Amino acid sequence: MTVKTQQHVGELLPNWMINLTDRIMGYYIKRYLNCDPVILDRPPAPEPGHQYLLYAHIPFCKTLCSYCTFHRFLYKEHKAREYFVNLRKEMDYVKALGYDFSSMYIGGGTTTIIEDELIKTIEHARTLFPGIKEVSCETDPAQIVTPAFKNLKGLVDRMSIGVQSFDDNILKLTERYDKFGSGAQIYERLGQALELFPTTNIDMIFGFRGQSLEMLQRDMDLLVDLNPRQITTYPLMVTSQTNKSVKGTIAADGSELADQYRIIMNTLGAHYRQLTSWTFGRTHDEGFDEYVVDHDEYLGVGSGAFSFLGTNLYVNTFSLSRYGKRIENGQTGVERQRNFDKHAILQYRLLLGLFSARLSRKYFREVHGVNLDRALFKEMLALKAIGAIRNDPTNPDNVIVTDKGKFLGLVMMKAFYSGMDNVRAELRRPLKESDM
């Protein structure tokens, strides 16, 4: 385990700057994150020399968490098995287009809800796409103790387990206590799962109402004692899709985020390397929890999956019945599309560079053919002015992201993902019972 000297994070951002950032992000999200209806007969073919990630979405859960904003339905076995068959057919369609992938990310929902179908799907993907070097998957604290869960060993390289908190009061607030057990029970189960996969990631959430600094500190101390290879600490995201019954009772005031983030960085920073604004790992070679950081382009399969290819965002239908019909008819599942101009893409990559603390002038020059400081003059000037970034005196191509910049990246990424959740909400809103 890599141990670092205890770091002490100074003042991050004042509340007015956090609020201003939210307003600015809100403007750009409203401007860019909307999609036009389209019936896409054929997605674009892969570009020579481009590297792609394969994203697969599993939209089923046995219980629906009230704060969750991802695309999911209550689990019905026959529907889920039918869905996995169609998912593999869509992969065949993608293979025929000429795609190969360097990595695969399986998200949900609960991806491990039927282990035998998931195993078939991973094996099928690895056979179709020999370039896949890493498979990342998500699960919950109940699934990791099922008898079939161990069968994923050797197939999944990185397993992310959604814990959120070890505090029983937070688990009750989020309606997870009755579903997954007490914090002590969850902690004990995690110990059994840590050695099954090369990388086990523990997902935590901060920013809950009533989550004191002492409660968060205890969560972080327990994680350090557990010693997983990777830890992700998300800020709670309350969006238009969040269950109305909990919207006003679950989220803390935004002004508390900076104090909570300081605890996370000080505690985890003493034992882990910070990989992104909210991800910590023992070394630098763990798969990132946010696959968009390492992959400019990715192709999504499954209902509700997003793809980013070239300058276009594509979204698969959120209707399970329409998805099944389209795949059975040999079509793609895409029903929405958005084309982005060059400046919007540069802004997006700047956000990801800030979030990952890997902001490189060389990347913008070689990949996008622009001078970063000139192409995004206003943005870079503002980031320097508030102390979010500074030049690296040893490497002119490297831009150092400060602790302020990492926190700003977290605030901006939180707003960005909330905007994506609002896109999901818009596309789920017209769904009827027949769409299941």
What pLDDT digit, counting tens, does each position of 130-144 carry?
A: 999 999 999 999 999
Would residue 434 count as lying in a domain?
no
Look at residue 245 and tell me whether its pLDDT is greater than 70: no
**CA distances, 109 to each of 53, 80, 370 (Å):** 19, 11, 39
Cβ atoms 97, 49 nearer than 8 A: no
Separation between Cα atoms, residue 294 and residue 359, nearest integer Å = 12
Percent of the chain with pLDDT over 90: 63
CA-nearest of 423, 434, 432 to 71 is 423
Reported as a pLDDT band with limits 50, 70 and 90, residue 4 is: very low
What token pair was written down for 148? 């079939």
What is the pLDDT averaged over residues 281-286?
Answer: 72
Would residue 68 count as lying in a domain?
yes
What is the pLDDT averaged over residues 204-223?
Answer: 94
Reported as a pLDDT band with limits 50, 70 and 90, residue 433 is: confident
Would residue 61 count as lying in a domain?
yes
Would residue 73 count as lying in a domain?
yes
CA-nearest of 36, 58, 133, 97 to 338 is 36
Q: What single-letter amino acid sits at 223?
A: L
Say if residue 109 is preceded by a cis peptide, omega within 30 of 0.
Answer: yes
Would residue 354 count as lying in a domain?
no
Separation between Cα atoms, residue 343 and residue 130, nearest integer Å = 35
Would you state the pLDDT for residue 19? 85
Would residue 320 count as lying in a domain?
no
Q: The domain spanning residue 226 has which CATH number?
A: 3.20.20.70
Would residue 186 count as lying in a domain?
yes
What token pair was written down for 288? 């990132």
Cβ atoms 227, 187 nearer than 8 A: no
Separation between Cα atoms, residue 99 and residue 181, nearest integer Å = 42
Would you state the pLDDT for residue 11? 66
Would residue 313 count as lying in a domain?
no
Look at residue 419 and tell me whether its pLDDT is greater than 90: no
Average predicted confidence (pLDDT) for the chain: 88
Other Cβ atoms closer than 10 A to 19:
14
Query: Model pTM greater than 0.85?
Result: yes
Would you state the pLDDT for residue 93? 94
Q: Which residue has the tokens 């019945």?
A: 321
Count: domains in the chain: 1
Rounded to 10 degrees, the C-alpha dihedral 1/229/399/384 comes to -110
Neighbouring residues of 429: CB distance < 8 A, sequence distance ≥ 6: none
Would you state the pLDDT for residue 435? 67
Rounded to 10 degrees, the C-alpha dihedral 130/136/137/138 comes to -170
What pLDDT digit, counting tens, does each position of 90-145 carry?
A: 999 999 999 999 999 999 888 899 999 999 999 999 999 999 999 999 999 999 98
Q: What single-letter amino acid sits at 242?
A: T
Domain housing 99: 37-281
Residue 360 belongs to what H/E stretch?
Answer: strand 359-360
Reported as a pLDDT band with limits 50, 70 and 90, residue 423 is: confident
